[in-house]
Chain A
Amino acid sequence: MAISKRKRAMYTRYAVYAISIAALVAMVLFVDWGKLSNAMFRWNIVKEQFPDIFTKAAKNTVIFTILGFAGGLSLGLIFALMRLSTIRPYRWLAATYIEIFRGIPLVVTLLILGFGIPIATGWQWPNAYMQGAVPLALVASAYMAETIRAGIEAVPKGQMEAARSLGMSYPRAMGTIVIPQALRIIVPPLTNEFVLLIKDTSLISVLGVTDATKDLARFGRDGVNSTANATPLMVAGLVYLAMTLPLTQLVAWMERRAKAAGK
């Protein structure tokens, strides 16, 4: 059949639009919305979630995220610097740490550190926040170390040389010249890391939590158990989105701006 490439592209485009609209219409017409909202979005249950979902659950999610991020960032910086060291044992140690914590699922690390270590040593975690946040921070630091290292390596070598030629020691040159420039480069990926952490805190509840240290996901799950309805999980999902969407938009904006500045 003799049909030109541009015509074919045009017809394909029309077809995709037509199929999308048809699918949307079918969904509106054939899904039993009453049944669905009855099972997943009942207003009276939605209302019951407040204010505890903010004052307890979301608060705990934020606390776990911030502890995990702060710990991960400081440890990650140390491991990044070790990875870049000229001293080989430092490099080996950091590389081993990073591979181990990136290679094991967070749930397994949480269980090993949260339960395994206390059982093996008799030592107890001082509180439930530490029990959840420390394993989270250790795993986060492994990912962040690689992000930070990439950022430091993206700063031209001449910057370090210029700083050293002015008599700055290596740590001083790193601290005043290289790391401030690296930070600008890694703010977008670190923000992504923060979003991942918000979501990863939902795994902490495998450690078993008290009413006071419940995070958003656990709060939603417990709500499902007590109401025999999926609404609490839907609400929890929306609260997660309220936290993560602004951040992912921020990253997109920062990346657009960086791209524009690079031109």
Chain B
Amino acid sequence: MSDQTVFIDDYVVSISELNKSFGANHVLRGIDLEVQRGEVVCIIGPSGSGKSTLLRCVNMLEKPSSGRIVVLGRELTHIDCDIDEARTKIGMVFQQFNLFPHMTALENVCIAQRKVLKRNSAVAEDIGRSLLQRVGLGEKADAYPGQLSGGQQQRVAIARALAMNPDVMLFDEATSALDPELVGEVLQVMRSLADDGMTMLVVTHEMGFASNVASRVVFMDGGVIVEQGPPSQVISAPREERTRTFLANVLNH
């Protein structure tokens, strides 16, 4: 830890002056965002607006070009930060599920518990089974990812992230790769997580989910946060022209 600054406040995630460039492409342009414990923040916006990059910066899968990211009191952008340790408290769910195809559903949920948290196999397995139960897949513990539908795979991926007892969950377009009829089962699991008080950052195109579940909606465009607020404001009565255009395109097609 040494001289690493520890911030004691209510924010689970605190981002300030965040910039990210890929070569000449300036993707994030000075993002400031704070997320409080128990908040469900939905990030919406057109593709290429930087919302996925922002989310991936929160657990440092993308390295910010500049700016400061503090998660759970740890300054991830500080040179002394143990990023592996910090990530155990930040769950992430990907668009492509990214389950480990050479392991069963249960092994997927147990592997990091054993290798990272050093839980013994029996404990890890108990936790793994109860989490699979929680996402409605208790019967599928021994199935390989290739034998599961997209919706089932994504629910296993959520269980895998929850197995680390994260304090915050990141969802990167978790339902975008799913067939339409499988979207509901995944959203339902996400919703029950929100109901249980999990702090969540959700990049999504599901306006219904954002309207009903989000405590705050953040609209991004061109690498900046254009406007944010409760869904009743941002989705139902947007102030900014860009937000209105985007919503008109999304909702009326």
Contact = CB atoms under 8 A, between A and B. Distances in A.
Interface of A: 156, 158-159, 161-169, 172, 176-177, 180-181, 184
Interface residues of B, number: 25
Given A167-B164, A180-B102, A161 B87 contact: no
Contacts of B164: 166-167
- Most chain B C-beta atoms within 10 Å of own C-beta, residue among A158, A161, A165, A167: A165
B67 interface: no
A156 B98 contact: yes
Interface of B: 59, 61, 84-85, 87-88, 90-92, 94, 96, 98-102, 111-112, 115-117, 157, 160-161, 164
A186 to B, nearest CB: 14
A5 to B, nearest CB: 44
B61 A161 contact: yes
Contact of B100 (A159, A164, A167, A169): A159
Contacts of A169: 84
A263 to B, nearest CB: 12
B98 A166 contact: no
A163 B161 CA distance: 10
Contacts of B61: 161, 164-165
15 contacts: A158-B96, A161-B98, A162-B92, A162-B100, A162-B157, A163-B100, A164-B84, A165-B61, A167-B112, A167-B164, A168-B115, A172-B115, A177-B111, A181-B101, A181-B102
Contacts of A159: 98, 100
Contacts of B116: 166-168, 172
A162 B157 CA distance: 9
B58 to A, nearest CB: 10
Given A165-B87, A181-B101, 11 more contacts: A156-B96, A159-B100, A162-B157, A164-B61, A165-B161, A166-B161, A167-B112, A167-B116, A168-B112, A172-B115, A172-B116
Given A162-B94, A167-B116, A177 B100 contact: yes
A177 B116 CA distance: 13
Given A159-B100, A181-B102, A167 B94 contact: no
A167 B59 CA distance: 10
Contacts of A176: 111, 115
B92 A165 contact: yes
Which 7 A-B pairs rank lowest in CB-CB distance, beginning with the nearest? A167-B88, A166-B112, A162-B98, A158-B98, A165-B92, A167-B116, A167-B87
Contacts of A168: 84, 112, 115-116
A168 B117 CA distance: 10
A165 B91 CA distance: 7
A149 B142 CA distance: 31
A161 B160 CA distance: 14
A166 B87 contact: yes
A28 B90 CA distance: 76
A31 to B, nearest CB: 54
Contacts of A181: 100-102
B84 to A, nearest CB: 5
Contact of B94 (A161, A172, A180): A161
Nearest to B163: A166
B88 A166 contact: yes
A53 B128 CA distance: 57
Nearest to A161: B61
Given A176-B111, A181-B102, A167 B84 contact: yes
B11 to A, nearest CB: 21
